Amino acid sequence: MVPSTSPVHPVDPALQESIAFISNQFAIEGDFLHGEEIQSGHINSTYRASFETANGAIHRYILQRINEKVFRDPLAVMRNVECVTRHINWKVLRVKKDLGGQTLNLYPGRGGKSWVIGPNGGVWRCYNSIEGCVTYDIVENTRQAYQAARAFGSFQDLVSDLPASEIEETIPDFHHTRKRFERLMRVADADPHARAGTVAEELDFVGRREADINVVLDLLANHHIPCRITHNDTKINNVMIDADSDEAVCVIDLDTVMPGASLYDFGDLVRTATSPAAEDERDLSKVVMQMPMFEALVDGFLDAANDSLNDAETEHLAFSGKLITLETGIRFLTDFLEGDSYFKIHREGHNLDRCRTQFKLVAEIERQQGAMQKFVGKMRKGKR
Ligand code: GN1
Ligand code: MG
């Protein structure tokens, strides 16, 4: 059985030492006790450090090294994260009049910046650990799906008044599906690792859906939908959910907060929250689009963001799930053909497995597209 919560792993003594060293560069109170690795992300390296204060209390902190192969300008990422966390904390304080809730905070590092350079190079940062919460790789019930969608809808609302000029595009063309499609076709032609022979079926699957590739890009280009500041990585394990109440407490992983379309954010929720199978599940019969989960996502997202979404955005909510799932499959397939240099892999063929899971889900969404579309229409009217 695949665990549905994100895994945490003990680390070897050398790594313990370097976690201790890095965390001691930050303004953290107390003495370092131990560190562990959090293995859920595919890009950055993430660790949790426990510290004990003089009165015996234990506090935990999240340390992350930014992957600079993916984020070519890690300091731009840090400027974005500083801007967004400050803005959200300000808003939460203004609206709720207290800071009692848990939000993400960066700890100052030695030298007065929000980051330090690690012993082996690299930009490291330190966040508070959001306590009493868990993250799920697979949603267990519709309540969690509703909460996650509401949290990302609220996030969009919280950052809606940040001037777009404050936010840098840290990965250009991140959701430019046309460019992602073309890159896949180029690497399939060049086939640098002689792997294209094994993926003819997958390439054909993508080719037959070329018409879908431009839909959201065209909506943006024609100003039918607005360009907003969006999270851009709304996968379900990027929401901290209260372990007792199942309520969403805050969203994490702010590295890809950039100008984008709200459809990208909703689409990735559909990709990661409607299937009961893991993102890399090999038994494709387990990959299904569960309608009740989709309904809970629409409900939660519209509860938080309905008033700000225009008609074209709402009309494409169901389609966005298909598009982002297709796009993510394209990205996994591209990385497989390029020799697995982008996403961390933990076994041979891992990116291909991930791609196949995505494409199975695309087919599932297509099968139920009519019902999904109908539900969105009904829901929108109800909430007006
Ligand atoms: C990566 O880092 P992580 O695991 O949250 C990726 C997302 C993909 C996701 C697929 C910067 O996110 O875009 O949707 O993997 N992040 C980046 O699981 O490329
Ligand atoms: Mg991420």
CATH of the domain at 121: 3.30.200
Residue 50, class by beta-carbon neighbours within 10 Å (0-12 exposed, 13-18 middle, 19+ buried)? middle
Q: Are residues 224 and 322 in the same domain?
A: yes
Distance CA 326, CA 308 (A): 26
* CA nearest ligand 1 atom 13, residue: 233
Which atom of ligand 1 is the closest one to the Cα of 271? 14
Span 283-332, pLDDT tens digits: 999 999 999 999 999 999 999 987 889 999 999 999 999 999 999 999 99
What pLDDT digit, counting tens, does each position of 27-63 carry? Answer: 999 999 999 999 878 999 999 999 999 999 999 999 9
Ligand nearest to the CA of 351: 1
Tell me: do 201 and 54 sit in the same domain.
no
Domain at 274, CATH number: 3.90.1200.10
Tell me if 89 is assigned to some domain: no
Q: Is residue 77 part of a domain?
A: no
Evaluate whether residue 99 is within a structural domain.
no
246 CA distance to ligand 2 middle (Å): 22
The finding on whether 43 has its CB within 6 A of some atom of ligand 1 is yes
For 71-81, write each residue's pLDDT tens digit: 999 999 999 99
The CA 265 to ligand 2 mean position distance, Å, reads: 13
Q: pLDDT exceeding 90 applies to what percent of the chain?
A: 83
Give pLDDT, residue 1.
Answer: 37
Asked whether residue 2 carries a pLDDT value surpassing 60, the answer given is no
Question: What is the rounded distance in angstroms from the CA atom of residue 357 to the CA atom of residue 176?
Answer: 21
In tens, the pLDDT along 200-232 reads 999 999 999 999 999 999 999 999 999 999 999
Helices (H), 33-108: 74-96
Q: Is the CB of 328 under 6 A from ligand 1?
A: yes
Q: Is 256 in the pocket of ligand 1 (CB under 6 A)?
A: yes
Asked whether residue 127 falls in the same domain as residue 163, the answer is: no
Residue 374 — very low, low, confident or very high, per pLDDT cuts 50/70/90? Answer: very high
Provide the domain count of the chain. Answer: 2
pLDDT tens digit string along 146-188? 999 999 999 998 898 898 789 999 999 999 999 999 999 999 9
Looking at the structure, do residues 46 and 172 belong to the same domain, yes or no?
no
The tens digit of pLDDT for each residue in 103-157 reads: 899 999 999 999 999 988 999 999 999 999 999 999 999 999 999 999 999 999 8
Say whether both 127 and 198 belong to one domain: no
The confidence score (pLDDT) of residue 3 equals: 45
Question: 348 or 11: whose pLDDT is higher?
Answer: 348
Would residue 304 count as lying in a domain?
yes
The residues, any chain, with a CB within 8 Å of residue 207's CB and separated by 6 or more, are none
> Is residue 156 domain-shared with residue 15, that is, in the same domain?
no
**151 and 49 in one domain?**
no
Are both 223 and 331 inside the same structural domain?
yes
Q: How far is the CA of 70 from the centre of ligand 2 (A)?
A: 11
Same-domain pairing of 122 and 201: no
Question: Considering the domain boundaries, does residue 170 fall inside one?
Answer: yes
Amino acid at 3: P
Name the closest-CA residue to atom 15, ligand 1. 42
**Ligand 2 centroid, distance to 208 Cα (angstroms):** 29
Question: Separation of 303 CA from ligand 1 center, angstroms?
Answer: 26
- 82 occurs within a structural domain: no
Q: What value, to the nearest 5°, has the Cα angle with vertex 328 and ends 209 and 270?
A: 90
Question: How far is 14 from 35, CA to CA, in rounded Å?
Answer: 11
Residue whose CA is at the smallest distance from ligand 1 atom 1:
42
Q: What is the mean pLDDT of residues 93-98?
A: 69
Q: Does residue 359 sit within a domain?
A: yes
pLDDT: which is higher, 6 or 8: 8
**Residue 146: per-residue pLDDT:** 97
- pLDDT of residue 241 exceeding 60, the answer is yes
In whole numbers, what is the pLDDT of the chain averaged over residues? 93
363 alpha carbon – ligand 1 mean position (Å): 22
Q: What is the pLDDT of residue 97?
A: 64
Is any ligand 1 atom within 6 A of the Cβ of residue 77?
A: no
d(C-alpha 11, C-alpha 330), whole Å: 33
Is 124 part of a structural domain of the chain? yes
Nearest ligand, CA 69? 1
State which of 45, 233, 254, 275 you would mutate to test the pocket of ligand 1, scoring each by most atoms of that ligand within 8 A of its C-beta: 233
- Res. 102: pLDDT tops 90: no
Residue that is written with structure tokens 């907003």 in the block: 228
Burial 320-353 (b: 16+ CB within 10 A, else e): bbbbbbbbbbbbbbbbbbbebebbebeeebbbbb
* pLDDT, greater one: 274 or 95: 274
pLDDT of residue 278: 97
Do 114 and 241 sit in the same domain of this protein?
no
The reported pLDDT for the residue numbered 284 is: 98
279 lines ligand 1 (CB under 6 A): yes
Q: Which domain, by its residues, includes 342? A: 142-382
CA of 43 to the centre of ligand 1 (A): 7
pTM, whole model, 2 decimals?
0.94
Are residues 233 and 331 located together in one domain of the fold?
yes
Would you say residue 90 has pLDDT above 60? yes
- 117 and 261 in a common domain: no
Pocket residue to mutate for ligand 1, from 43, 234, 346, most atoms within 8 A of Cβ: 43
Give the atom of ligand 1 at the shortest distance from the alpha carbon of 171.
11
